Amino acid sequence: MTEREYEISENYKRVTSMIGEAVARRGGGDVTLLGATKTVPAEDVLFAASLGLRVAGENKPQEFRDKYGLLAPVLDYQFIGHLQRNKAKYVVGSATLIHSVDSLRLAEEIDRLAKARGTVQDVLMEINIGREESKSGFLPEDVSGIIDEFGKFSSLNLRGIMTMAPVCEKKDDYRKYFQETYTIFIDIYQKKSHNIGDTILSMGMSDSFVEAIEEGSTLVRVGSAIFGRRVYP
């Protein structure tokens, strides 16, 4: 085992142990670990897959396209980054799940592309839970009506909601954002679950996945806690 493989192996063991402990504290339930692979070489991702990682997510459409042939045969390969409408062609029909649908215009373009490719694309609605001007996503108060709009797209399958909480100095400060998102998920979203199927609540990243799980997350996106600090070209 190389030094790099040892690092990933130890990180993966630590993260999965922390997930298991967080699930136990909240009283059970399933949580999917998604390895966030932005800038991570495909060989490192494949090594993590050999350790048990089953789901990976890419942030950039071009990077998703470039790694697809190597990762998609091995992992459930998803798209988790901001997606511009003119880049959706790289992702629709290939990603098993698109996390970051932040506007009805993007949803419409995904639906159009999926229809042309003869498929139905699974997506998550992105919620701007911190109401930050610098971030995209639907405002919490708009979610109920927007979900009805998503139901009009025949080639788009809304699987759940996701959020990226504002950066917080203290880990417990994340909880209020996760609690509000969970309330939306339960009080608004799951009322429509008969039209949706198995629902997903995606919240929590490397700095907050424990708190997110304890507050109800069913999918966490963990990158640097597994693969180390990102190295940008």
- Which run of H or of E encompasses 77? strand 76-79
Answer yes or no: is 204 within a domain: yes
What is the widest separation between alpha-carbon atoms in the chain?
52
Strands 219-222, 156-163: pairing kind: unpaired
d(CA 91, CA 119): 12
Overall residue count recorded for the chain in this entry:
233
Answer yes or no: is 64 within a domain: yes
Confidence of residue 214 (pLDDT cuts 50, 70, 90): very high
pLDDT of residue 57: 97
pLDDT of 49 over the 80 cut: yes
Answer yes or no: is 233 within a domain: no
pLDDT of residue 187: 77
Q: With pLDDT > 70 as the criterion, what percentage of the chain qualifies?
A: 94
Q: How many helices (H) and strands (E) are present in the chain, helices listed first?
A: 8, 8
Per-residue pLDDT of 96-142, as tens digits, reads 999 999 999 999 999 999 999 999 999 999 999 989 887 889 999 88
Answer yes or no: is 182 within a domain: yes
Task: Provide the number of structural domains found in the chain.
Answer: 1
Judged by DSSP in three states, 121 sits in strand
Mean pLDDT lowest for which of 49-63, 102-116, 144-158? 144-158
Domain containing residue 84: CATH number: 3.20.20.10
pLDDT of residue 194: 44
pLDDT of residue 51: 97
pLDDT of 17 over the 60 cut: yes
**Within 13 Å of residue 9, how many CA atoms lie on the same side as its CB?**
9
Answer yes or no: is 65 within a domain: yes
Answer yes or no: is 124 within a domain: yes
Answer yes or no: is 232 within a domain: no
pLDDT of 196 over the 60 cut: no
140 within 8 A of 127, measured Cβ to Cβ:
yes
Q: What is the pTM of this model?
A: 0.93
Judged by DSSP in three states, 79 sits in strand
pLDDT of residue 231: 64
46: domain range?
3-227
Answer yes or no: is 33 within a domain: yes
pLDDT of 190 over the 80 cut: no
pLDDT of residue 233: 60
